[in-house]
Structure formats: C-alpha cells, structure tokens
Amino acid sequence: MIPDRVAARIAPLAPERIERIEEPSLGLLAYVVLDSTALGPAAGGVRTKAYADEADAALDACRLARAMTYKCALGGLDAGGGKAVVIASPELDRERAFEHLGRYVEGLGGAFRTAGDFGTTDADLAAMARHTRYVHTDTPNLAAAVGRGVLRCAEACATYAGRGDVRGLRVAVQGCGDIGAAVAEAFAAAGAEVLVTDLDAARARAVAERTGATVVDPSDVLFADVDLVSPCAVGDVIDADVASRLRAWAVCGGANNICTDDAAHEALHRRGVVFVPDAVSSAGAVVDGIGHTVMGLADRAPLIDALGATALAILEDARGHERPPVVHATRRARLRIDGASR
C-alpha cells in the first residue's frame, strides 16, 4: 500500500503502474514504476540511493520512468519507460534484497526490462539475475553505447552551431563512473580536448590517464571555460542559476534529468546555450539493450547513431522559437506514443 502522502506527491505524473516493495527483514524499501507500455515493455534501470524521505524516492522513480518513456519513443524503440528505485540504508541486506527484487521483476513476466543505474553495483545486478531473465548485466557494453550516443548528439550540436565536428572542442565531463568514463573516452577518441571530474578523485585520475584528459575540481566543472559541458553523473545539476553562469555554449550529457525544471531549460534557451534533451543524448544504453533483447537487432550501432539526427532535428525545431528544445522533444515523443495508443 502506497502511503497517502507519497500518493499525493506522485499524482501529477500518473504513471501506468507503480508498486511499493517492502521487506523489513531485508531492510528493503523500493518503488518500481511502469510509466507506459504503449510501445512495448517498460525499460529502465535500478537506482540505489539514500533519499531524504520515501516520497522523494517515489517521485524520483516516477520522473525517471517518464524520462525513459520519452527516451524510448525518441530512440525509435518498441518499448516504454520504467524505473526501479531502491532506498539505500545501513539496514539494507544488499544481496538478499536484490535477489528479492529480481524475483519481483521476474513475476512481471517481461513487462519491465531493467539494468544498472546510479548506486547499483554489478554484484547487485548479479543477485537480481539469479532470479530473473529480465535484467541486463553487461554494464561496460551499455556504458559504451551511452558514450557513442552522447558523441553523436554532441556532433549534432557542432553541426547546428556551424562548427563541423567535435575535433578540437573543449569538453568538460562531469562524473567518471561507467557512463562518464565511456563518454570521456568517446570524446577523446574523436579528437576533443577533455576535462574530467568526479567526487572520487582516484576515479577521475584513472580516466584521465586512459584518455589524456585533464582533471578539474568537481565544484568548477560546470563553469569551466569550455565549448561543451557533459553531465554524466546524477541528474538535477543545472538549475536556472547554474544556467545563467555557464561559460559553455552547449550542454549534452549522459545523465538523466540534467535540468531541475522548466525554468532551467528556459534559462539555457534564452542565453542561446545549445541543449540536447537528455532523453535523446543519454539513450544509447536503452537503445542497445532493448534493440537486442526486444527488437532482436544484431547490430544496434545504426540506431544509436540515429540519435544524432534526432538531436539535430529537435535543435532545428527550437531554432528561433521561444520554447526550449525539451518542449519539442516531448512533442515528438508524445506523437509516437499517442499514435500507438489509438
């Protein structure tokens, strides 16, 4: 049973299905959200995070699931959006809790296809996989797919701005986990000058050594003197104030929900900062995973590369328009979803 105060917080998003999973003996409290299955099974990762309260966790799950709905629609996938959020706590018996979550996912019969996300380890995914067929555990390949997709969308930014490609551009990558590392590697291989940062300094140094990147302080990365900022850690990193102080002319990242709200999107657009909606730029992993497991594509690279053309089309939609790119991306996604729902 979802508590009334939680139900009130998530009511405006109205997902297709939301389940509260509680097992006190395991310290487990989680939410699984299936936002939409109009185009196919709901796809989305498992996030493990300490939240201020349960309502924040449920709302985060709903927001992320909605983002996945749009991501799948814009990525041309036969899938909708979902998300699982596990509330991290000292009482969480991780192995048994994720085994329990795996059994729950299996019980959905394929309606929810999942993988890793922020805070969820390879060991957590392995525990789930002991009890479900519907969890993707190949984290390195999924991260590489995100890196490829972010690069294609960054190339769209360069084309839109008349810069050609990303060769020679200065790019700041925020976060050096699996996703951020793959994005930094993709930019470096394409000839960009890369700056990296992470709250774990050793992790940032390791990525820098592999890519030739320069390590910068986490507090400076969003305001670095660069062409493009690529947030690749947690979301909600750009609000209206941060947007007003960016020195970069473009934002294109591998994180979900990069902007905090509509005001942040509008502030970027008013300043002329080129922003690729993260429903497109971060879609490489779900394109790779769903393209393989649901759509049966042996080669998902062309579908990942097509994210660049989608990004450019959305940026062109927004050119000279008072509404920011995210509005045009949402419109494109809704057209496909609503068409399938008829």
Query: What is the domain count for the chain?
Result: 2
- Please choose, from the candidates 152, 182, 172, 161, the residue with its C-alpha nearest in 3D space to the C-alpha of residue 228: 172
Q: pLDDT-derived band of residue 72, with 50, 70 and 90 as boundaries?
A: very high
219 with 328, same domain: the answer is yes
Asked whether residue 245 is assigned to any structural domain, the reply reads yes
SS3 60: helix
Cα–Cα distance between 230 and 250 in angstroms, integer? Answer: 9
Q: pLDDT-derived band of residue 254, with 50, 70 and 90 as boundaries?
A: very high
172 with 297, same domain: the answer is yes
83 catalytic per annotation: yes
241 with 281, same domain: the answer is yes
Structure confidence at residue 340 (pLDDT) = 82
Cα–Cα distance between 178 and 195 in angstroms, integer? Answer: 16
Mean pLDDT across the chain, nearest whole number? 96
118 with 245, same domain: the answer is no
Q: 86 phi and psi, to 5 degrees?
A: -105, 125
Cα–Cα distance between 47 and 17 in angstroms, integer? Answer: 18
325 with 227, same domain: the answer is yes
Structure confidence at residue 314 (pLDDT) = 98
244 with 295, same domain: the answer is yes
Q: pLDDT-derived band of residue 1, with 50, 70 and 90 as boundaries?
A: confident
164 with 207, same domain: the answer is yes
165 with 130, same domain: the answer is no
Asked whether residue 51 is assigned to any structural domain, the reply reads yes
- Domain of 180? 140-341
Cα–Cα distance between 325 and 317 in angstroms, integer? Answer: 7
Q: Which CATH number fits the domain that encloses residue 63?
A: 3.40.50.10860
Structure confidence at residue 342 (pLDDT) = 60
On the CB side of 210, CA atoms within 13 Å amount to 16
154 with 118, same domain: the answer is no
Asked whether residue 288 is assigned to any structural domain, the reply reads yes
304 with 210, same domain: the answer is yes
Structure confidence at residue 341 (pLDDT) = 67
Final residue before a domain boundary, out of 112, 135, 158: 135
Final residue before a domain boundary, out of 135, 165, 182: 135
In the block, which residue shows the tokens 């979902």?
Answer: 82
CA angle at 147 for the pair 49 and 259, rounded to the nearest 5°: 50
Structure confidence at residue 138 (pLDDT) = 83
Asked whether residue 208 is assigned to any structural domain, the reply reads yes
- Please choose, from the candidates 312, 327, 173, the residue with its C-alpha nearest in 3D space to the C-alpha of residue 237: 173
Asked whether residue 74 is assigned to any structural domain, the reply reads no
- The tens digit of pLDDT for each residue in 100-159 reads 999 999 999 999 999 998 899 999 999 999 999 999 998 888 899 999 999 999 999 999
- The tens digit of pLDDT for each residue in 299-329 reads 999 999 999 999 999 999 999 999 999 999 9
When pLDDT is averaged across residues 52-79 and rounded to a whole number, the result is 96
- Kindly state the DSSP code that residue 294 receives in the 8-state scheme: T
Given 66, 71, 83, 94, the catalytic residue: 83
- The percentage of residues in the chain with a pLDDT greater than 90, rounded to a whole number, is 95
Q: Which CATH number fits the domain that encloses residue 308?
A: 3.40.50.720
Asked whether residue 283 is assigned to any structural domain, the reply reads yes
Final residue before a domain boundary, out of 90, 108, 135: 135
Does residue 96 surpass a pLDDT of 90? Answer: yes
Cα–Cα distance between 93 and 1 in angstroms, integer? Answer: 22
Asked whether residue 179 is assigned to any structural domain, the reply reads yes
298 with 192, same domain: the answer is yes
157 with 129, same domain: the answer is no
Asked whether residue 73 is assigned to any structural domain, the reply reads no
Look at the alpha carbons of 262, 37, 78, 286 in this order and tell me if their dihedral is positive or negative. positive
